[in-house]
Structure 1
């Protein structure tokens, strides 16, 4: 390991933990990743898990740590209460909490919640990625964070003004595995394999008057009635679901002209296609890089700048 570490930055999610030792400029000195997410841990296990990873990287015993994600959930290490919208991304560190049992300085960053107009919603972890985007100059923009529960967030003047969580990924799994459509969607299926079918389904979902629940069974019917025509039920289902999701934010997409997609992999490429079909521009951002930038910005505010040039 070369270089002098400034802090340990930790993205502690439900399923996974990612940890980086970085200098004060964000350069990675060493990193670790494991499946020891919040969903697998009892509250009193967090200190030992953290120290185990830091020890494996030969981190100094007094190296401070800043954590984002589900470690700050009610059932995590220590609850870091939500900051309500409009939430200033640059000041999230001011609401960080110190967990019990740590043998070094550890701060857990808060999530963000929304209550306005009865549109109740929460995020925990994504706000740190948005803070990372702010660090690279995106202080006013529309963001899309695809996943099992996708997030759409509107950031204006460095504040999370409003956001919404869409259960598209979970709906795909439930419908394709537990509904009548399980007979049409193979378990090993790839929506990205047939872009024409996916695009057509997105276009269908973007039409005025489209009703998702009144259209889903057509996927099953097509499989029963088609006679050799090209068909990919996974691509149609995915296109309908993502298309309906994009249709719901189309006004914002028209207003801003583009959406910044945070993430990597096939799912982000499908969202980029859908955004393009809806008339917007999709700009891809690296989620891992953004969460490190957001964590580092908080670390620089929280800790002494002993190693900063």
Structure 2
């Protein structure tokens, strides 16, 4: 072993010491996950944050949902009330806030472009956030696939062509759906026009992933011959892009000792999470066997 490495080894061995850190218990914060797509009703999920070392199981997750909140969405002229509903998956129950169907005259779907204000009263506190469903500054032109060889197996790589509008400040996020699976975002699910402004460009698109799975159990970024793939491409505003950009980075850096700390940039003052608008375009392709 070189002298330098021996000295470094001895130095760290001599300085080894058990360190016990007493982390204070944080007060739970409201966590907001709200989205509003063009042509659809808004959906809002409210939970309480958990401590870093909390043991996660279905019972803990179920208890984290926030009930009996007052939730409204306004477009500037009309205001609709969202009511709490339960979705039972069999494994656990999810609680979501959706438009009150008993007041259909007040309900409205998202439009392009549109500006929408979310107001929440929960835990004796008031929260407010504004998002936009933006114009299609990034236009999804086409999708196609190419065959690649991965570990002696034939796979398919998905490609897209996008045309960006001349003005700077366009942002996007994508999801993929494989056969009958749900729509899943990519590990790096957002794109912006900082380097491609006003151009037509082609980029490869990784298959979306279920981030609840252990990384070793996830499929790779490719698709299989015979798959029917639907790409969901969304134009989003900068605040929504900032949230998912920082969350994707934090998730992908988890466990990396050389990564820098990342602050998740939400857009709901006083709470964690985001209220985001999506201008959605779908394209489907069948990968030949």
* TM-score > 0.5, shorter chain as reference: no
Q: Which has the higher helix share?
A: 1
Larger Rg computed on CA atoms: 2
- TM-score normalised by L of structure 1: 0.27
- TM-score normalised by L of structure 2: 0.28
Q: Which has the higher strand share?
A: 2
